[in-house]
Chain A
Amino acid sequence: MPVSIFGAAFHEQKLVKKALESFYALGPQTSARILAKYCIHPRAKIGTLPPKTVTALTAELSTMTIESDAKKILHDNIKRLRDMGTYRGRRHAMNLPVRGQRTRNQIETARKLNKVERRG
């Protein structure tokens, strides 16, 4: 039976650490601290968590800037650059490299990622 943490459903066999790290802007450092805070050992699976801990985790995650909140901060930063009319802002808007790389070739990553509404 899947367990729901912070609105996402996880399989019972998934590691709690991996489940936490599946949220945007939540990495190994933060997940290790969350695990320690609730006394969950690093190799714990979702299925072994008592329901109390699951709700506590959800409550903990809802206080953090993760997922859409973190993305919003990123978008705001790029948008600010664009609105100020800076070079970096313009380069973002044009899907071009921002940090002075050459643009003759090999700019697929920039084309993919550098947008005002950046993916992640």
Chain B
Amino acid sequence: MSAPSCLRCLVRPSAGVTVSSLPRSSPLAVARAAPFSTTTANLRPKKEVQTGGAPKGHVRSGKMLQLGKFKKGKAGDRGRTPAPGERKAYRKRITLSNDNAIPVPWLTDLGPADLANPANTARIMALPTEVQDQLRASEAFKPTQCWGMFRKPAVLVRKETIDMANRMQNAADKRHTLRLVVSGDKLTGKSLMVLQAMAHAHLNNWVVIHIPEVQELTTACTEYAPIPNTDPVQYMQPVYVLKLLQAIRRANEGVLSKILTVSAHPELSQSMPPNTPLLALAGAAKEPDAAWPVFQALWSELTAQGANRPPILLSADGLAHMMKVSDYRSPAFDLIHSHDLALVRLFADALGGGLRLPSGGAVIAATTRSNAPRTPSMELALAQREAEANKGLGGPSSSGAVEVPQRDPFFRGYDDRVEAVLRSVQVLRVRGVDKLEARALMEYWAASGMLRATVDEKAVTEKWALSGGGVPGEMERAALLTARI
């Protein structure tokens, strides 16, 4: 007995007609009666059985168990294989806008003084288009950050941001150099602080030189060569410096085109008469061999005494990689200390105060927590600086007894050069945001249509608590990225 509709296929015979009465012999008719069927393969007329002559292939071909190892003809069409570098480019792509997100009407663009204005605390502000381009040129955006979810990139102005921007502004006004290490736990927004510092600098027409990932310099993945006539020997990294020069050129086009050189640079292959725009000087390097001399010339022009130069921001992300022995080897097969790599040394000298910026500016480095080698000296030095700063303020506790951590006498892995660099830096510890800032964040997410919940006291408190006390990255995970996980 057969069911009124075939259980094994979706061919539905009309009422009263049993499946067995279907015209099996004429499959075309069936196909016409039921255009959708999963059993067309069964209904297809069997191939003519070969009569006479040996059958092709194995007698039991198609019925034998085929183990993976012995499977023949794995070919199949796998489609187009990705071109070299294509997958990496896809992995590292940066999307800064999402046309599906709702534009937020009350979002205002950042102005030159906005990041230093305490009235803007706990406000979301958008990055102006030209600053976006500048930041993108110097690779300040990272693929792990959630820029691609919103209509336009915007940042939360935090208390720490205001603090940092004010320190930068004070230093620039007094022609001092702010030397700052941004430290903090995972996902607290250290890289975003650097980005905000860069945005502030760009908005105020500073010259910004940014090293997006210090590990690219010290993990022996870019070319290096000894610089002649240096003792102890220093090493230049021509390919990276060329890339950096191009980034500097694109990011600071407006500022550099207005500054003129004060001295001729006979050491360069191209003639650079005085009063050439620095933009032309930065563009003088066309190939890696010329990059380091051009960078040196550019740096000497930017820090020329007496000339009216704009403030400089030197920023880097991933400080720990700068504070270790690099993976490079000298011709004598000794490991090279990172501070013997010329570009890193320049940054480290500026951070340590050995290299003054005559027109003022800031040297800002952020640590990372997820990808950092162990650097006991750096950790110790940062903890010491922080404790000293707290001591100066009277300490967080009422007793005021802040212990400055000391070296472990039984541990050998300390590095004196690192401690010398970090002896007098300021440390900005970034923690989780407070509830007001958390609320601003969540309201922005909701206004963009990315958070489908009412933002009230309860929701904010819940996400704030879930994220370990308002760690912004964790808040994103708890509220924004839930669908992705």
Contacts and interface: CB of A to CB of B under 8 A. Distances in A.
Contacts of B235: 39
Nearest to A33: B333
A27 interface: no
Greatest chain B CB density within 10 A among A36, A40, A41, A48 is at: A41
Nearest to A29: B333
Nearest to B226: A39
Contacts of B220: 41-43
A89 to B, nearest CB: 39
A37 B221 CA distance: 17
Nearest to A50: B289
A38 B226 CA distance: 10
A55 B316 CA distance: 38
The CB with the most chain A CB atoms within 10 A, among B226, B235, B329, B332, is that of B329
**The 6 nearest A-B residue pairs measured at CB:** A36-B329, A36-B333, A41-B220, A37-B331, A43-B221, A39-B225
Interface of B: 220-226, 235, 327-333
A32 interface: yes
Contacts of A41: 220-224, 328
A94 interface: no
Contacts of A40: 223
A38 B333 CA distance: 10
A13 to B, nearest CB: 8
Nearest to A48: B223
Contacts of A43: 220-221
Contacts of A33: 333
9 contacts: A32-B333, A33-B333, A38-B331, A39-B224, A41-B220, A41-B328, A42-B220, A43-B220, A43-B221
Main secondary structure of the interface of B (DSSP, over half): loop
Contacts of B221: 41, 43
A107 interface: no
Interface residues on A, range: 10 to 19
A38 B330 CA distance: 9
A33 B332 CA distance: 8
A59 interface: no
B329 A44 contact: no
Contacts of A39: 224-226, 235, 331
A36 B224 contact: no
A37 B330 CA distance: 7
Interface in A21-38: 32-33, 35-38
A36 B330 contact: yes
Contacts of A44: 223
Nearest to A40: B223
B77 to A, nearest CB: 26
Nearest to B330: A36
Contacts of A42: 220, 327
A33 B333 CA distance: 6
A42 B223 CA distance: 9
Contacts of B223: 40-41, 44, 48
Nearest to A13: B84
Contacts of A48: 223
A35 B221 CA distance: 13
Interface centre among A35, A39, A44, A48 (most CB of B within 10 A): A39
A69 to B, nearest CB: 23
Contacts of B225: 39
Nearest to B328: A41
Contacts of A38: 331
A37 B332 CA distance: 7
Given A36-B333, A41-B220, 5 more contacts: A37-B331, A39-B224, A39-B331, A41-B222, A44-B223
A120 B55 CA distance: 48
A33 B225 CA distance: 15
Nearest to B221: A43
A41 B221 CA distance: 6
A73 B286 CA distance: 49
A40 B331 CA distance: 9
B239 to A, nearest CB: 8
A48 B239 CA distance: 10
Interface string A70-86: 00000000000000000
B429 to A, nearest CB: 35
Contacts of A37: 331, 333
B222 A36 contact: no
Interface in A65-120: none
Nearest to B334: A36
A48 B223 CA distance: 9
A58 to B, nearest CB: 18
A40 B222 CA distance: 9
Nearest to B84: A13
A40 B235 CA distance: 12
Contacts of B329: 32, 35-36
Contacts of B331: 36-39
Nearest to A49: B223
B242 to A, nearest CB: 13
Nearest to B333: A36
B225 to A, nearest CB: 5
Contacts of B332: 36
B27 to A, nearest CB: 54
